[in-house]
């Protein structure tokens, strides 16, 4: 912590000067999460926080699609991204042409798009979802066939919980969560009996099936807080366990984890530079933002 302290102090001072707020995702490193985040949470919590802030500037400590979502919801505010290369394999997997292709293949079916997408893909969709509310959104839609993009595994995990609907999906995946296999989980459980295994729904369905619980990053935190297991394996990005372990000293977090190279592009140094130089500002063309906002707002209005 000592090496981080000067950066944390400088960022927090600059935040006050700029009337800025820092929205930090659960996968940020602990020095960002604990040291400078004003709001920390999953992608749904951060999107909602973006609608509620009275700061003039939002610094997004997360990946690019999260910053775009903040901008879409706050066109008048300055939204800063400390590293524009902080992308996401899911967001890269689909373009508006892909949405059009799915609509042509399944005429009349509504398109539910994961927030892990670019603004123009959201603009081409009917409604957004996150991993926290996907099941609720799918249940709420008055349609028998529903298109889910772009995460094939989230779609399959939702389909398992909503068997009354036909869900069709795009073939995107998260490079962090797709690496886990059911065999890994079985072997881990055999070697570590009694460990609670908690998986993000971006994992393949057979991994989720081998786990004790599956939920968004907030869902994972809520589960650990409620259950207080003696030992837990979080089948997700590495920083998740690091960030919540302070608040749960009685839980031993064990097991392998995978790092998101995009999330890890955000560092204290880059956040400091971003606030100092007021770069790099996120822009979304007004016509795209207006349509994308409808999809995001529909999700928020569903109370999900
Ligand atoms: P959450 O909405 O669960 O925080 O997930 C975002 C994400 O990118 C997970 O890989
Ligand atoms: Fe995208 Fe996966 Fe990284 Fe989340 S963990 S930002 S879904 S690549």
pLDDT tens digits for 204-261?
999 999 999 999 999 999 999 999 999 999 999 999 999 999 999 999 999 899 999 9
Q: Is 216 in the pocket of ligand 1 (CB under 6 A)?
A: yes
d(CA 142, CA 37): 38
pTM over 0.95: yes
Nearest CA to ligand 2 atom 1: 88
Side-chain-side CA neighbours of residue 26 (13 Å): 21
Please state the rounded mean pLDDT for residues 109-130: 98
Ligand 1 centroid to Cα of residue 17, in Å, is: 31
Whether residue 43 is annotated as binding a ligand: the answer is: yes
Mean residue pLDDT of the chain comes to 97
| pLDDT (0 to 100) of residue 1 | 78
The minimum-distance atom of ligand 1 relative to the CA of 260 is 10
Q: Is 217 in the pocket of ligand 1 (CB under 6 A)?
A: yes
Q: List, in sequence order, the alpha helices (H) in the chain.
A: 5-18, 30-35, 43-52, 64-73, 89-92, 96-105, 119-123, 134-140, 152-161, 182-191, 205-210, 217-227, 238-245, 268-277, 286-301
Whether residue 174 is annotated as binding a ligand: the answer is: yes
Task: List residues near ligand 2 (CB under 6 A).
Answer: 63, 88-90, 116, 174-176, 202, 237, 260, 262-263
Whether residue 114 is annotated as binding a ligand: the answer is: yes
| pLDDT (0 to 100) of residue 2 | 85
Ligand 1 centroid to Cα of residue 192, in Å, is: 26
| pLDDT (0 to 100) of residue 167 | 98
Here the tokens at position 304 are 């999900």
pLDDT at 304 over 70: no
Whether residue 177 is annotated as binding a ligand: the answer is: no
- From 68, 150, 174, give the residue whose CB has the most ligand 2 atoms within 8 Å, as the site to mutate: 174
Q: Is 45 in the pocket of ligand 1 (CB under 6 A)?
A: no
Percent of the chain with pLDDT over 70: 99
Task: Provide DSSP, 170-218.
Answer: --B--TTGGG--HHHHHHHHHHSTT-EEEE-TTS-HHHHHHSSEE--HH
The minimum-distance atom of ligand 1 relative to the CA of 44 is 2
Which ligand is nearest the CA of 45, by number? Answer: 1
The minimum-distance atom of ligand 1 relative to the CA of 220 is 3
pLDDT at 55 over 80: yes
- From 83, 85, 88, 170, give the residue whose CB has the most ligand 2 atoms within 8 Å, as the site to mutate: 88
Band of pLDDT at residue 59, cut at 50, 70 and 90: very high
Please state the rounded mean pLDDT for residues 152-159: 98
pLDDT at 99 over 60: yes
Cβ neighbours, 10 Å, residue 14: 17
pLDDT at 61 over 90: yes
pLDDT tens-digit readout, 173-209:
999 999 999 999 999 999 999 999 999 999 999 999 9
| pLDDT (0 to 100) of residue 203 | 98
- From 85, 87, 94, 116, give the residue whose CB has the most ligand 2 atoms within 8 Å, as the site to mutate: 116
Ligand 1 centroid to Cα of residue 217, in Å, is: 6
pLDDT at 303 over 80: no
Q: What is the set of domains in the chain, with CATH numbers?
A: 5-87+264-283 (3.40.50.10800), 90-174+288-301 (3.40.50.10800), 177-259 (3.40.50.10800)
Please state the rounded mean pLDDT for residues 142-171: 98
Would you say 15 and 37 are in contact if contact means Cβ atoms under 8 Å apart? no
Side-chain-side CA neighbours of residue 23 (13 Å): 31
- From 237, 257, 261, give the residue whose CB has the most ligand 2 atoms within 8 Å, as the site to mutate: 237
Place of tokens 């869900």: 167
């Amino acid at each position: 912590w000592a090496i981080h302290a000067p950066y944390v102090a400088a960022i927090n001072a600059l935040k006050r000067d700029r009337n800025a707020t820092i929205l930090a995702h659960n996968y940020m490193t602990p020095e960002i999460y604990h040291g400078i985040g004003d709001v920390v949470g999953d992608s749904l919590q951060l999107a909602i926080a973006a609608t509620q802030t009275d700061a003039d500037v939002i610094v997004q400590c997360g990946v690019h699609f999260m910053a775009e979502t903040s901008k879409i919801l706050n066109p008048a505010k300055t939204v800063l991204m400390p590293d524009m290369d902080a992308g996401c394999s899911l967001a890269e997997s689909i373009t508006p042409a892909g949405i059009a292709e799915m609509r042509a293949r399944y005429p009349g079916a509504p398109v539910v798009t994961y927030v892990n997408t670019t603004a123009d893909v959201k603009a081409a969709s009917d409604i957004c979802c996150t991993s926290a509310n996907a099941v609720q959104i799918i249940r709420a839609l008055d349609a028998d066939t529903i298109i889910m993009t772009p995460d094939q595994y989230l779609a399959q995990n939702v389909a398992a919980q909503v068997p009354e609907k036909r869900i069709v999906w795009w073939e995107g995946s998260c490079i962090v969560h797709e690496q886990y296999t059911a065999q890994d989980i079985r072997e881990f459980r055999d070697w570590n009996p009694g460990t609670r295994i908690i998986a993000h729904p971006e994992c393949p369905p057979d991994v989720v099936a081998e786990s004790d619980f599956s939920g968004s990053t907030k869902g994972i935190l809520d589960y650990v807080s409620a259950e207080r297991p003696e030992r837990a394996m979080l089948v997700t990005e590495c920083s998740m366990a690091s960030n919540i372990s302070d608040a749960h000293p009685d839980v031993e977090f064990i097991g392998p984890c995978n790092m998101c190279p995009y999330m890890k592009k955000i560092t204290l140094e880059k956040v400091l530079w971003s606030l100092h130089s007021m770069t790099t500002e996120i822009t979304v063309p007004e016509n795209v933002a207006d349509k994308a906002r409808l999809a995001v707002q529909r999700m928020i209005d569903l109370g999900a």
